[in-house]
Structure 1
Amino acid sequence: MKTGKQKIILLLKVFVAFLLLIAIGFFVFRDSILQQAIEKASTKIEQKYNSNLSIKKAAFDGFSGISLTEITLTPKNADTLFSIQKMKTSINFWHLLLGDVQLGTLEIKNGMVQLVQKGNVKNFAAFLKKDNAESSTNDKRDYAAFAYRIISKALNLVPTDMSVENLKFKLDDNGKKATIDIKKLVLFDKELETSIDVQTNTFAQRWKISGFADPRNKKADIRIFNKDTGAIKVPYFDERYNLKSSFDSIRLNIQNIDKSGGELHIDGFTSITNFRINHPKIASKDVVIKNARFDYRFLLGSNFISVDSSSTAQFNQVKFRPYISYDTEADTIYKLKVTIPKMKAQDFISSLPDGLFTNFQGMQAEGTFDYKLDFKFNKNKPDQLVFDSNLKKEKLKITKYGEANLTKLNGEFVYRAIIKEVPQRPILVGAANPNYTPTDQISSYLRKCVLTTEDPSFFSHHGFINEAFKQSIVKNIKTKKFSRGASTISMQLIKNVFLTREKTVSRKLEEILLVYILENNRIVSKERMLEVYFNIIEWGPNVYGIGEASRFYFQKNPSELTFNECLFLARIIPSPKKFMYQFNDQGKLRDFAAKQESFLTNIMTTRGLLSIDDTIYKSQPLLISGAAKSYLRLKVQDSIPIDSLSVNEEFEF
């Protein structure tokens, strides 16, 4: 009678014999199995992607190696997607039995992969279509499980040993071309070395990628740099998007990819040196960040994706902790938190990227500060948006101004508006200018009307209105465009006096920082800011300041303006050169303009800014008697789209 130990040994022998039979059967019939697999793949590609997969010769090489020659994939009526002259690979047999395809080695010689778009025809379009069965499901995706499955499959397809010679990646987007030619790529004993030639319509370079890569243990440490002198230029984007960018080197480090407790953790860091970027929407000059590094920890759960708050980001000397989250557990919620620990103000100013903050060059400061931002947006409850920005300063003081010397607002200076990069005629802000008007010589109605339309809380805020920012963000998200700003009089003053009118990220960031400095360091009084504002803003075609405006429209001094006239002047501030479209052919206000006036009058009355006696002129028509009258006679356009000057667009409180 056999013992339990003998039974176990017998079962193991049977199992081993079974595996040997499978291996022998696979070895005997493998060529037939390989051909059937190729035919099945070819049929599927033809039916699903309307493309032809052709392999001239396919055979096994040794027990687990496969040799393929002249492989091509060509979509019908389009350019070839890829073509490889010779490829040899080996597959881990035991992983294959478990259903995983894991490459052991890979050799490629003389290959080409190309993405081509001619007109609206793309040779890769069919492969971007979503699977109908997948897209029709309403089940929530488990982000952690899905990402880990994709990452594992992708890394299994990265061989442990690899040799690639003359493999070209080509991009042709209606004549915008880029070619990345891998002359040689070797991955051996976890060490990676490459030699790459890059050719575009605008430049040619030689790159090198080297470092450590261990796909089975999910680790890597790779560097990209230029073999020649100079920085690496990013191809294609300069022609396609007018975005020019370059860098000296990039390092990508992956330390850990692990799934446990239903969460996926991805840890590592990436760094870049002398990153340079140029785009008309960013700044008028090259923007340069000398050193930047991101130590990341990505967390994915069943219903969330996040950058963990333990991550740190650094550019030059500025170091901060970001937290970014996308959560779909109950509602679709986006979160952003940024924390800058206490740091020296001078270190922050010195770290500002070159080209992005030109008005801060040469600025010096004392003291320290720390900063926190908390942002939360619920897609299904947009009006509950959270936007809290908190800066704490300690003995913070500007000791030397840069190019934008804010103290000049306290004295006489020459102002020149810049329109489409062309400086306009000089305007002296001071008593020597006969049109200059101190606030005590301006009708009090104008002050009330302009503050109501432009900045009702001007005398109480410190340059910014958090609630206005919130509402602006909500509306811009809802409309999916920048349809509403949150500009205060302080911001308009900074923009007009110290900055250009270019719509760039650089100008907006400079505007925000300069306004903060102006409003929080008691450089200029609110009354003086308002007086300068009244005397420099554009109020019509080549009309600047209230002194010129009151005569241009009404042949009056600013002190003589009636409530109706002040209300008109306040309403046209957003689009002063289009003032003539407020009137119909009989010279009377259009219906939409009259509605705006009633709307604003009611608000001012409700707020106690007006009495019944103040509105006595409402029943009288608005008469344009100055030089502006000629513009009404020349106007030939009978109508203007109401939404461009609507009550809801211009005046939201």
Structure 2
Amino acid sequence: MMILKRIGIVIVLLAIFSGAGLFLFRGTLLRHVVKGKIETYSDRYGLRIAYASLKMPSLATVRVEGVSVVPLHRDTLLKLRSAEVELELLPLLQGNLSVKSMHTDGLTCRFVKCGGKSNYDLFFQRIPQEPRGQETEDVVPIGYARRVEQALGALFRLLPEDATLRHTTFMGERDSLQTVFMIPDLVLEDRKFVSEIAVSEEKMNGKWRVAGTLDCKTRLIEGSIASAESGKRIVVPYILPHYQTFVAFDSVAFSMKQEPFSAGNQTLTGYTEVGGLEIHHKALSPDTIGLDKGEVEYMVHVGERAFELDSATTVRFNRLSFHPFVRADKTDRWHFTASVHRPSFPAQDLFASLPSALFSHLRGLEVEGELSYDLNADVDFNCLDSLKFSSNLRGHGFRIHRMGTTDLSRMSTEFEYTAYEHDTPVRTFAIGPSNPHFRPLSCISPLLQMAVMQSEDGSFYYHDGFYPGAIQEALAYDLQKGGFARGGSSITMQLVKNVFLNRHKNIARKLEEALIVWLIESQHLTSKERMYEVYLNIIEWGPLVYGAAEASRFYFEKEPSELTVSEAIFLASIIPRPKHFRSVFNPDATLRENQLGYYRVIARRLAVKGLMTEEEAEAFVPDVQIRGEARRLVLQPDTLISPVHATAWEAE
């Protein structure tokens, strides 16, 4: 018993002397540890890190002065006059860093880029991975949920709940343009923070006010930003001079809460809200895009190999609201699923919520009744051929009460059509009897009508403007190619694009196109027969060649009512690439053999429709004898078509 007592006394004395030694030599130990870290980061990132003074006033307090961080052969990245950080003692004794309070003075960060080189390249460098030993090959990788939990856990441990940041400056310099954010004082006290930020860039000056809450115990961050000057808005700097994009807003608010980690799942909840948002970029719209109010209340689940936006999420967009569901699973490649199910809501809420700059043709549209909407998408990048997509907007007692800026029924009667080349108008002509080259359906060969339809949109007379199978195939193909490679457009969609819209391929234009198609088809603003008649009279069939009459004359010197099977199929075949019609011919103006398969496919479809017998289709051999202007252009491939060629028929 006495021996145990003596051993206990020895252990206590050792602890006392160790603690005393640790306290007495804490500064030396700290500088030794910091020296090793500086050497590691200097070698890894190519930095010169220096400080004038480093002290530990107490076991849990670190004070540093005169800090500088300079990338090799680059401008200074960071300077710090002084900082004092108080750490939580108990976590520190357990080997974890947890910041209790922090006070800084004179922090300046400069991000400089000039001539393609910057002093912040180090943030984007990939650190070489050391080769793994045999003993680590079978280690199971950490899942996404655990990574998020660890990262946010570290963030909330390092963020203080009490802090004072004085004379803080963030500066960006790019090609002589300087953007400066100056924060005179930012005070975080009792988990609340508030500050003003002075922002300057060339002739632009502004003052922002930021405020919010940082509660590390409940894992909550929330904040807001707005102009500190009455009657002014926040204009986002940097992106206008460098990316020609204007962005301004009245206010932005956000929150994010980390829920307790449970059963391998990490859940994040919160919201983001923006008011008075304005965006302008010529690629989006010639006008400024406005959003009165947008808000997202979200719930995100992070699993071991998946991310999920819960359907409890609410998106509000002006007068619209809906609950999206999105899930992303990672196996070899990503697998995305998404859905939106919106039950009946006032139809006017949709059209009143659309940004007029993006949906200019629907501006001022007044409607009655209700709408409902369903979207389902399944995109597996492991097997894009399995892609599924459906989008269904339904009207309930819906009708148009008043047209907006554009008369969506204009195709029903004679109207003027303007053809564009690279956004430049090249020809304007009437689609109706006043145009001598206009041909009603009765004057166009049924062979041409059916060949074009079977080539472009075989179910045109039976669908409501959208052909889901074609859209799915086009989406899969575009994703495989990584761009807009195939459109999947129905004839109605092609008409809307050409008659009402510009040809810029972007998401906003496709959404406006889809809405106009739905309105025309669901409200029967133009009959199917008239739409097809318009289509055959405006479609481009060669360089500056528009409509069936001009095409028949250009290629065969005959009327569209006189076309043969071969001639009709030929005209259908060149619709996707009308300016490259010469590529389907040999130098002697005979048809290339690689075209034969297409002709036989369309011939079989004509037979199914009763325009040929099955025997004729099976024995069909195309005979395309082009004449006149088209033949001359094929035989003389260096010849360029001139406007005279396109307008000569009008003079006759």
TM above 0.5, yes or no, is yes
Contact 1:109 1:165 in 2 (8 A): yes
Structure 2 residue corresponding to 1:517, chosen from 509, 516, 519 = 519
TM-superposed CA distance for 1:447, in Å, is: 0.8
TM-score by length of 2: 0.89
Look up the match of 1:345: 347
Q: Is the 8 A contact 2:85 2:101 kept in 1?
A: yes
Partner of 1:221: 222
Q: 1:254-653 alignment to 2 at 5 Å? A: 254-328=256-330, 332-594=334-596, 596-601=598-603, 604-605=606-607, 610-611=612-613, 621-632=623-634, 634-636=636-638
Alpha-carbon shift at residue 539 of structure 1 (Å): 2.2
* Larger displacement relative to structure 2 (230-239 or 598-607): 598-607
**Alpha-carbon distance in structure 1 between the residues aligned to 2:15 and 2:599:** 89
8 A contact 1:304–1:329 mirrored in 2: no
Contact 2:599 2:622 in 1 (8 A): no
Q: How far off its partner does 1:612 sit?
A: 6.1
Contact 1:326 1:333 (8 Å CA) reproduced: yes
- Indicate the SS of the match to 1:623: coil
Q: Look up the equivalent residue of 2:124 and give its one-letter code.
A: L
User: How far did residue 71 of structure 1 move?
Assistant: 1.0
| SS of aligned partner of 1:627 | helix
Query: Does 1:44 pair with 2:79?
Result: no
Equivalents in 1 of 2:186, 2:61: separation in Å?
20
Q: Deviations over 1:242-279 (max 9, x none)?
A: 33222111001234532223221211111000111222
Q: Deviations over 1:20-62 (max 9, x none)?
A: 6665333211111111121011111122222221112111234
Q: Which residue in 2 is equivalent to 1:110?
A: 106
Distance in structure 2 (CA, Å) of the matches to 1:282 and 1:395: 33
Aligned length: 632
Structure 1 window deviating more from structure 2 (538-547 vs 626-635): it is 626-635
For 2:143 and 2:115, how far apart are their aligned partners in 1? 38
Distance 2:62 2:413 in 1: 82
Tell me the secondary structure at the aligned position of residue 25 of structure 2.
helix
Report SS of the residue matched to 1:417.
strand
Measured against aligned partners, the alpha-carbon deviations of 1:115-166 in whole angstroms (never above 9, x if no partner) come to: 3334443433334334544897784432111101101111222111111222
Counterpart CA distance in 2 for 1:546 and 1:614 is: 25
Residue 70 of structure 2 is aligned to residue 68 of structure 1: no
Rounded Cα–Cα distance in structure 1 between residues aligned with 2:615 and 2:632: 32
1:238 aligns with: 240
Q: Deviations over 1:571-615 (max 9, x none)?
A: 222232332343343223344445543454455457765336866
Looking at structure 2, the residues matched to 32 and 38 of structure 1 have their Cα atoms a distance apart, in angstroms, of: 10
CA distance in 1, matches of 2:598, 2:104: 71
Give structure 2 stretches of 5+ with no counterpart: 641-652
Per-residue deviation, 1:562:
1.7
Letter in structure 1 aligned against 2:171:
K
* Alpha-carbon contact 2:465-2:490 (below 8 Å) kept: yes
1:519–1:581 distance in 2 versus 1, CA, 3 Å: same
Q: What is residue 157 of structure 2 aligned with on the other side?
A: 156
CA distance in 2, matches of 1:35, 1:131: 26
Say which SS state the counterpart of residue 426 (structure 1) adopts.
Answer: strand
What is the one-letter code of the residue matched to 1:153? A
Paired residue type of 1:129: Q
Q: What's the CA shift for 1:100?
A: 1.7
Could you tell me how far apart the structure 1 residues matched to 2:475 and 2:214 are?
43
Check the 8 A contact 2:600/2:618 in 1, yes or no.
no
Percent identical among aligned pairs is 29
- Aligned CA distance change for structure 1 residues 141 and 285 (closer, same or farther; 3 Å): farther
Per-residue CA shift, 1:181-228, capped at 9, x if unaligned? 223211112221122122335733221111222233222331101123
* Aligned residue in 2 for 1:87: 83
CA RMSD of aligned residues (A): 3.0
Question: Retained in 2: the 8 A contact 1:563–1:617?
Answer: no
Contact 1:320 1:341 survives alignment (8 Å): no
Match of 1:253 in 2: 255
Output the CA distance in 2 between the equivalents of 1:612 and 1:327.
49
Partner of 2:645: none
Instruction: Identify which range, 356-365 or 592-601, moves more after superposition.
Output: 592-601
Return closer, same or farther for 1:596/1:317 CA change in 2, 3 Å cut-off: same
**Alignment partner, residue 148 of structure 2:** 147
Structure 2 Cα separation of the partners of residues 397 and 15 of structure 1: 88
Q: Residues 525 and 245 of structure 1: is their aligned pair in 2 closer, same or farther, counting only changes over 3 Å?
A: same
Letter in structure 2 aligned against 1:83: K
Quick one: distance in 1 between partners of 2:482 and 2:424?
Answer: 32
- TM-score, normalised by the number of residues in structure 1: 0.89
2:74 alignment partner in structure 1: 78
Given that 2:604 and 2:617 are in contact with CA atoms closer than 8 Å, whether structure 1 keeps it comes out as: no
Distance in 2, Cα, partners of 1:139 & 1:73: 37
**Displacement of 1:629:** 4.1
Query: 1:98 aligned to 2:116?
Result: no
Matches within 5 A, 1:114-193: 114-133=110-129, 139-175=140-176, 177-193=178-194
Q: Which SS does the other structure have where 2:261 is aligned?
A: strand
Distance 1:505 1:284 in 2: 15
Q: Deviations over 1:267-314 (max 9, x none)?
A: 111100011122233222211111011001111122221111111010
8 A contact 2:633–2:639 mirrored in 1 = no
SS in 1 for 2:633: helix
1:331-384, Cα deviation, whole Å (9 max, x unpaired): 742111122232100111111123111111111111112212111222223222
Distance 1:378 1:232, change over 3 A: same
Deviates more, 1:128-137 or 1:44-53: 128-137
Find out whether 1:55 has 2:51 as its counterpart.
Answer: yes
SS class of match (1:101): coil
Q: Secondary structure at the match of 2:106?
A: strand
In the aligned structure 2, how far is the partner of 1:310 from the partner of 1:453? Answer: 44
SS of equivalent residue, structure 2 residue 627: coil
- Rate the CA distance shift 1:429–1:614 in 2: closer, same or farther, 3 A: farther
Of the structure 1 ranges 164-173 and 271-280, higher mean CA displacement relative to structure 2 is found in: 164-173
Distance 1:528 1:25, change over 3 A: same
Contact 1:71 1:85 (C-alpha < 8 Å) held by counterparts: yes
- 3-state SS in 1 of match to 2:259: strand
CA separation of 1:175 and 1:631: change in aligned 2, threshold 3 A: farther
Per-residue CA distance 1:504-543 (angstroms, 9 max, x = gap): 3332211110001111222222111101111122222332
Q: Aligned-pair distance for 1:453?
A: 1.6
Partner of 2:205: 204
* 1:589–1:22 Cα change, 3 Å: farther
Output the amino acid matched with 1:484. Answer: R
Contact 2:100 2:160 in 1 (8 A): yes
The structure-2 alpha-carbon separation of the partners of 1:502 and 1:301, relative to structure 1 and needing over 3 Å to count, comes to closer
Distance 1:517 1:586, change over 3 A: same
Query: Match for residue 650 of structure 1?
Result: none
How far does the alpha carbon of each residue in 1:441-479 deviate from its partner, in whole angstroms, 9 at most, with x for none? Answer: 101111121112211111111111111111112112222
Stretch moving more, 614-623 or 538-547: 614-623
Identify the residue that residue 648 of structure 2 maps to in structure 1. none
The whole-number CA distance in structure 1 between the counterparts of 2:16 and 2:295 is 52
Long gaps (5+) in structure 1: 639-653
